[in-house]
Structure 1
Amino acid sequence: MIVFSLGISLAVILFLVNKKVNMGYSMMAAAILLALLNGKDMSYILKTFFMTVKSATTITLVATVGLITILAYLMDKYLILDRMVVALEAMLRSAKLTILLAPSIMGTLSVYGGALMSCPVVERLGDRLSMSKDEKATINLVFRHTLYLIFPLSAAMILAMELGEIAIWDLIKIQFPISLFMYILGYILFIRKYKDPEIKKINKREYLQVVIQFLLYALPILISLLGALAFSMPFYISILLGIGVSVAINFHDKKHDTKYDIGENPLITMYKGLKLPLIMTIFGILFYRNIVTGMEEIYVFFGDFLDKGMPLELLIFIVCGVICLALASPQPGIAILFPIVLPLAPNYDTRLLYAMFIFTTSFLFYYISPLHLCQVLTLEYFQVGLKKLYRNYLYLVPLTFLCMVAIYMVNIF
């Protein structure tokens, strides 16, 4: 019954999401249906709902993700991100390196539809390198997501840290080689063959000014990262500091140039940047997770398969594939599997390897999902078909997965 009911609930989520219903509301509806199908009454559902609302994990995640959306909005609205990318190209002195790094930097601002922010940059640089449309689309998606496995302010990473009871730095370290491999392979496959156009020469003083400009406009992101990683601040505190820096930069800018004055109180701008649909998605994911993990049948189901000799890794692969490919999100795979699989680990190192396997597999299935919003928007922008994009992924995605498997096998044995 548990397998049937899980399948029904996932089908409901997929149906509602396709009908443009918010992922969070879709997952809440599916969670209620899942509970009812497994004999739970409304009192149990309400108890789980309020437990989710009051949970410290929920409050921390909602606060952190909400503040990240505000930071992203401010950096876009105040033209901080645009100027950071311009300074980056002048600093790197290479269109090839810039098209490699710009989508990654812009991808650190985890907002739905954020891929459109880097599309114009990739298009401009790609035209200078004489790239085809499908290559530009692929580059925008590949290098926008390569930092996903190691960026500590992503919703998936924060979720993994909270649910997995593992140090975020440990997960970043073990996944860094996978991220680096994907980066290097992406460069070899899609960028290396092109020749850099000539760039206007600048003297040392001008170059130093460019570096200072880049550091200034990257400061909101750098402050948010350093506060959390170097000084062990809660993420929401360090992001608040990044928001404060963004406002300060805009205050300085509009005193010297009226084009940066958007004629709006910063508090109003912050309110506009708060993306409630994303917050509801986080809540819906956690509610669904709590409903699933509250059912003993799911543990019996996993245990039966493992007792019959099915490798745990194959089970993770199948479940991640079904959930993350269908829902076009890595978070549900992490939220459902972490509490079920990680307790099976005999020690912390094995727990970390299980976390890596789930996280990376969830990410890759999400990445190639036809419903992946970044992918949909990028293909629409560059007017490229899904078939051409998948052809470009032919080596990149399987080899990245095999890189993860190799790291897992070396460490597990």
Structure 2
Amino acid sequence: MIAFLKVTIIFGIIVVLISKKFPLHWALLGGSIIMGISFGLSTNTILKSFFEAVKDWNTISLLLILYLIAVFESILKEKEVLKKMVNSLKSLIKDDKIRLISMPIIMGLLPSVGGALFSAPFIEESTDNDNLEPERKSYINYWFRHIWEPFLPIYPGIILISALTQTPINILVKEALPYGLFVLAIGLLFSFYKMPSKDIYSLEQVQNQNLENQEISVSQNPVKDFIISFLPILILIFAVIFLHFDLLYVLLGIVILLFVIFRFDIHQIFNTLKTSIKPQNLTLILGVMIFKKMLEVTGAVSDIAYLLNFSFIPTPLIFFLIPFIVGILTGVTSASIGISFPILMGMLPYVNPLKYILLAFLSGYLGVMVSPMHLCLVLTREYFNADWNKVYKYIMKSGILLGIFTFLRFLI
């Protein structure tokens, strides 16, 4: 009981710090230090635990994966691969509504923080500002960008889940795919419900589309351009999901191959590698892994698991509520996973543990999607100058359906 109270207080401190815009990695590091001290660990033991967490191969491989994803993203942007994909879609897709959602879906393939802002100008220029309300535009831009997050193996969330639970990522992807499809279905339902066709300009009438302030022209050979531009992402997904290759080595191979194909010289390679370093993401992973290690070293995980296992709270409800609450309070999927999973792992049932892992993962994702602290939502609402309450009507309805689906799939 004492261990539970200590961790609860530390957990509360971390959440409060995050809500006050305190960097998550520092909050986790501070929480780890407080935890070590409160459980009576010596300074040498705390420092040794930190060092062991940092040098662990799971930590190192996770850092390398996230870094290579950033390099992969930089190459696709620099060589206008995404721009060609958008060009080809303009010619391939004749339905205005489908074309409207295509841009946030495409940009969602790149897990940039606040990346929904990239697709907002496309939607703005593709719609009749007088007819399509800003709240619907905000919802379309925000929701469709995140349909990939439950299952795409280039998002930090599912990668972190795999590392923390030691579950092969190809298995996680296969099991989480139905959730992503349901997120897509929800978006289609609420985006186009009672929307007259006249509310959307035909994209053929838009002569100057912009992606990050660059002109987008109509593709002359759309099928070829789409296949070529989508090929790097397709290879990545196929190799990881169907061939069961390690994500780290697949990413490394693709990055090297892209450097060769696009004929990067030494200076360009060095510059891309340098600019792709995102210290905030790397330090976040270190913070998560150190926090996880401290929970193990102090024995807090086993104590809390023992207490909750003999409480009157149903285990599925615990696996749903903890990540969901953290997701709402932080608006960051990696934070929801990094804070809650080290605690939940000690309670993981021996019978069909994957069901509980998915329940916790998707509940955290749900919390993040309905969180007012989610950066993509904040930026999208500000861009379209939408009313918070009206935007939230779309989001909450979607969230309720997703929550029901998550629980039903768990029970089946």
TM-score range relative to shorter protein: 0.7 to 0.9
**C-alpha offsets along residues 311-355 of structure 1, whole Å, 9 cap, x if unaligned?**
01122233223322222222244345445545655556x111011
* 1:77 paired to 2:89: no
Match of 2:409 among 400, 407, 410: 407
Q: What amino acid does structure 2 have at the position aligned with 1:224?
A: L
User: Residues 29 and 290 of structure 2 are in contact (CA less than 8 Å); yes or no, is this contact kept in structure 1?
Assistant: yes
Verify the 8 A CA contact 1:138 1:392 in the aligned structure 2. yes
Structure 2 contact 323–360 (Cα < 8 Å) conserved: yes
- Does structure 1 residue 149 correspond to structure 2 residue 145? no
1:324–1:40 distance in 2 versus 1, CA, 3 Å:
farther
Task: Find the counterpart in structure 2 of residue 212 from structure 1.
Answer: 224
Cα displacement string for residues 98-146 of structure 1 (whole angstroms, at most 9, x for unaligned residues): 2333312211211222222222223233448942211111111111111
Q: Name the amino acid aligned to 2:370.
A: I
Query: Where does residue 385 of structure 2 map in the other structure?
Result: 383
Cross-structure match for 1:96: 97
Partner AA of 2:223 in structure 1: V
CA distance in 2, matches of 1:385, 1:8: 36
Look up the match of 2:374.
372
Q: For residues 356 and 18 of structure 1, what CA distance do their matches in structure 2 show? A: 26
Q: Are residues 129 and 405 of structure 1, via their aligned partners in 2, closer, same or farther at CA, if it must alter by over 3 Å? A: farther
In the TM superposition, 1:6-405 aligns within 5 A as 6-17=7-18, 20-127=21-128, 130-192=131-193, 193-195=195-197, 197-198=201-202, 209-247=221-259, 250-251=262-263, 265-342=268-345, 344=347, 347=350, 350-405=352-407
Confirm or deny: 8 A CA contact 2:151 2:180 kept in the other structure. yes
Structure 1 residues 358-367 or 316-325, which shifts more? 316-325
Amino acid at match of 1:211: V
Summarize the Cα distance change of 1:31–1:237 in structure 2 as closer, same or farther, 3 Å threshold.
same
Q: Quote the Cα distance in structure 2 between the aligned partners of 1:153 and 1:113.
A: 16
Say if 1:128 and 1:197, in contact at 8 Å, map to a contact too: no
Q: Percent identity?
A: 24
Q: Distance in 1 between matches of 2:84 and 2:268?
A: 22
| Separation in structure 1 between the aligned mates of residue 304 and residue 350 of structure 2, nearest angstrom | 23
- How big is each residue's C-alpha offset from its partner over 1:354-395, in whole Å with a ceiling of 9 and x where there is no partner? 111000001111222222122222222222243222111232
- 1:88/1:98 contact within 8 Å kept: yes
Cα pair distance change 1:101/1:355, threshold 3 Å: farther
Match of 1:151, SS state, is: coil
Q: 2:408 & 2:20 partners in 1: Cα distance?
A: 39
- Measure the CA separation in 2 of the matches of 1:333 and 1:157: 12
**AA in 1 matched with 2:362:** T
* CA distance 1:316–1:8, change in 2 (3 Å): same
Partners in 1 of 2:68 and 2:288 — Cα distance?
18
Distance (Å, rounded) in 1 between the aligned partners of 2:61 and 2:117:
28
Do the aligned partners of residues 288 and 77 (structure 1) sit closer, same or farther apart at CA in structure 2, a change above 3 Å counting?
same
1:352 maps to a residue whose letter is L
Give the Cα separation in 2 of the matches to 1:107 and 1:44. Answer: 42
Contact 2:326 2:340 (C-alpha < 8 Å) held by counterparts: no
Give the TM-score of the pair, scaled to structure 2: 0.86
Q: Report the Cα distance in structure 2 between the residues aligned to 1:157 and 1:403, rounded to whole angstroms.
A: 19
Deviation of 1:408 after TM superposition, in Å, equals 0.7
Are the aligned partners of 2:90 and 2:203 in contact in 1 as well (CA < 8 Å)?
no
| Deviation (angstroms), 1:398 | 0.9
Shift of 1:77: 3.1
Rounded to whole Å, the distance in 2 between the matches of 1:134 and 1:198 is 20
Letter in 1 for 2:391: L
Give the direction of change, closer, same or farther, for the CA distance of 1:343–1:29 in structure 2 (3 Å limit): closer
- Deviation digits for residues 162-201 of structure 1 (CA, Å, limit 9, x no counterpart): 2222232332233222221221121111125342655659
**Measured at CA, do residues 233 and 171 of structure 1 come closer, stay the same or move farther in structure 2, by a change above 3 Å?**
closer
The answer to whether the Cα contact below 8 Å between 1:220 and 1:243 also exists between their aligned partners in 2 is no
User: What is the CA–CA distance in structure 2 between the aligned matches of 1:72 and 1:130, rounded to whole Å?
Assistant: 35
Which stretch shifts more, 1-10 or 65-74?
1-10
Moved more, 159-168 or 363-372: 159-168
Q: Report the CA distance shift for 1:165/1:117 in structure 2 as closer, same or farther (over 3 A).
A: same
Bigger mean CA offset, 300-309 vs 131-140: 300-309
Amino acid at match of 2:184: Y
Query: TM-score with structure 1 length normalisation?
Result: 0.86
RMSD value, Cα? 2.9
Aligned residues: 396
Distance apart, 1:4 and its partner CA: 4.0
Q: Answer whether contact 1:224 1:241 (CA < 8 A) is retained.
A: no
CA contact (8 A) 2:19 2:330 kept: no
